Amino acid sequence: MKLNRRDLLKTVGGAASALVLSRLSSAQAARGPLFEGTRHSLQGYQIPDWFRDAKFGIWAHWGPQSAIEEGDWYARNMYIQGQEQYRYHVEHYGHPTKIGYKDLVGDWKAAKWDPDHLMDLYKKAGAKYFVSMGVHHDNFDLWDSKYNRWNAAKMGPMKDVVGMWAKAARDRGLRFGVSEHLWISYKWWAVSHGSDKAGPLAGIPYDGVDPAYADLYHDADCARYSSGEFEWNDNGIPDAWKRHYLDRMTDLIDKYHPDLLYTDGHLPFEDTGLKMVAHLYNVSASLHGGVNEAVYNSKEALDCAVGTCALDHERGVADGIAPNPWQTDTCIGQWHYKRGQQYKSAKKVIDLLTDIVSKNGNLLLNFPLPNSGELDFEEKVTLDGVTKWMEVNSEGIYSTRPWKIYGEGPSTATKLVTGNFNEDKQKDLISEDIRFTAKGGSVYAFVMGWPAKEAVVKALGLASDQAPGNIRNVELLGYNGKLEWKQDEASLRVKMPPEKLSDIGITFKVDLA
């Protein structure tokens, strides 16, 4: 039976998915799986070219916690006396001894959510892949889950959110990914088993202790992590939860065949996590003629040191050019929607994108959706700015590779410790700051502002340490006129056109002899 690959990738659920996998994997099964669930086997993994070429993805970090529109980690913080979200919850809903998170998930309605319209906007903005939240720490699945009644197909919006996102993305030629934040849920939810430390209800347990809701808040044993602080690790999490986690992740992979799977943290539970990643890659190989095209993201450098995965830095950038492709995941505001939030400007997003791509990375950018599922006005302003810049300059982004150096200018004097949560340590880029990429016989020089009279690129001088050789031609993307430029020993100098093209930044395409 000959099956069309595009049709297969649009198959997103149920028995049809199982049938497709069964038929496609029969030949592969005869010669054995591509990967086994061991560190040694997964060291043979190679990051696929589509990820290396894509450079820019958009993420919808969206779920029941977005319904409250009060920012990150609402479901946890509402059970910690003294937290802003605890005070908000008591004032607007009631005390968590009586009204808990279980009572709020139905408020997530997604009344104006139109995944096709949003995907049109994201594709126009230049995204080459899209990532849906699969399940957050709150233990609520955004798909028609086989193993969890707390899911979006049966509660809240009453829709298979992951499946609908997947179809919208793949219909438009985008790669599709999902994020999972589930593994740490057992510890994260422990505060729901606690109680107030002071006040008239001190010592009275929150609703998390009710055994009728143990499939949401976990069993009573997790209460030992209810102090409000916990270590972000596997220690103390029972084997029963690990097995349940693997069942849920296998269900997600088998139904939606993600091109990318993101874990919020390290590769969890060692053998359990290794089985999950091997299954992800083997399912992908069964759909692509025995060649894996899936990517797994871990935030632990040791996980991705040899093969295995693509390293992800949350809200972080690298200090220099990394030997392997990597990813920054960040947000224009908070991860979950918060009313009145000040967002990153389009200029800030493009500063991050050019810096990250120059260092061999990808940018995965979250636009947090409110309860309605419709972008607010300020989000559209940022998205529109990114769209207009990418329409002109994306040639220097897609399918490029790092040049000899990532950049020059004042910002390169700031030394960063590569890792998570360092994006705010890098200074805003200005017209003296330049980032480089390369493709074919061309170098792209991103000048991160509009120079007053001329642009000066020292690295492209004949006697620079990078020794680019003679330049044949210089083109300014988006400008139809002929440029006046000169290459000497010290630099490349380009006279700026009289009309400003952009306040965000411009791109010179430099053809080398």
Question: What one-letter code names the amino acid at 211?
Answer: P
Residue 15 has phi, psi (to 5 degrees) of -65, -35
How many Cβ atoms from other residues are within 10 Å of residue 500's Cβ? 9
Are 84 and 77 in contact by the 8 Å Cβ rule? The answer is yes
Residues 350, 392 contacting (CB under 8 angstroms): no
Q: Regarding the domain delimited by 5-68+104-184+232-390, which CATH topology (the fold level of the hierarchy) does it fall under?
A: TIM Barrel (3.20.20)
Residue identified by tokens 């103390």 is: 236
**Rounded Cα gap, residues 69 and 62, in angstroms:** 11
Q: What CATH number is given for 430-512 in this structure? A: 2.60.40.1180
Structural domain boundaries of the chain?
5-68+104-184+232-390, 430-512
Please state, in angstroms and rounded to a whole number, the distance separating the CA atoms of residues 342 and 345: 9
H or E element at residue 105: none
Contact present, 122 and 130 (Cβ < 8 Å):
yes
Give pLDDT, residue 490.
95
CA atoms of 337 and 359, how far apart (whole Å):
30
What's the confidence (pLDDT) of residue 369? Answer: 98
Around Cβ 428, how many Cβ atoms within 10 Å? Answer: 12
- Cβ distance 154 to 182 under 8 Å? no
The two three-digit tokens of residue 286, written as one number: 């069964």
Length of the chain: 513
Q: What is the mean pLDDT of each run of 10 residues along the chain (513 residues)?
A: 42 44 47 88 98 98 97 97 97 97 97 98 98 98 98 98 98 98 97 96 97 95 78 92 98 98 97 98 97 98 97 93 97 96 97 98 98 98 98 98 97 82 83 97 97 96 92 97 96 96 97 93
Neighbour count for residue 336 (Cβ, 10 Å): 27
DSSP 342: P
Q: Which residues contact 260 (CB under 8 A, 6 or more apart)?
A: 51, 57, 129, 131, 175, 176, 177, 178, 294, 295, 296, 297
Which burial class, exposed, middle or buried, applies to 417 when counting CB atoms under 10 A from its CB (0-12, 13-18, 19+)?
exposed
Return the beta strands (E) in 277-338 as ranges.
295-298, 310-314, 326-331
Q: What is the DSSP letter of 338?
A: B
CB 174, CB 130: distance < 8 Å: yes
Q: d(Cα 70, Cα 313) in Å, to the nearest integer?
A: 25
Give the contacts of 239 (CB within 8 A, at least 6 positions apart): none
Integer CA distances (angstroms), 1 to 4, 23, 286, 348, 440, in order: 10, 8, 14, 50, 40
What is the distance between the alpha carbons of residues 326 and 483, in angstroms, rounded to a whole number? 35
- Residue 32 is predicted with a pLDDT of 66
- pLDDT value of residue 467: 83
Burial 344-373 (b: 16+ CB within 10 A, else e): bbbbbbbbbbbbbbbbbbbbbbbbbbbbbb
Q: Find the Cα–Cα–Cα–Cα dihedral 300, 304, 309, 312, rounded to 10°.
A: 40
Q: How does DSSP classify residue 199?
A: S
Q: Which residues on adjacent β-strands are paired with residue 437?
A: 444
Residue 435 exposed, middle or buried by CB count within 10 Å (0-12, 13-18, 19+):
buried
Element (H, E) at 196: none
Q: d(Cα 52, Cα 72) in Å, to the nearest integer?
A: 30
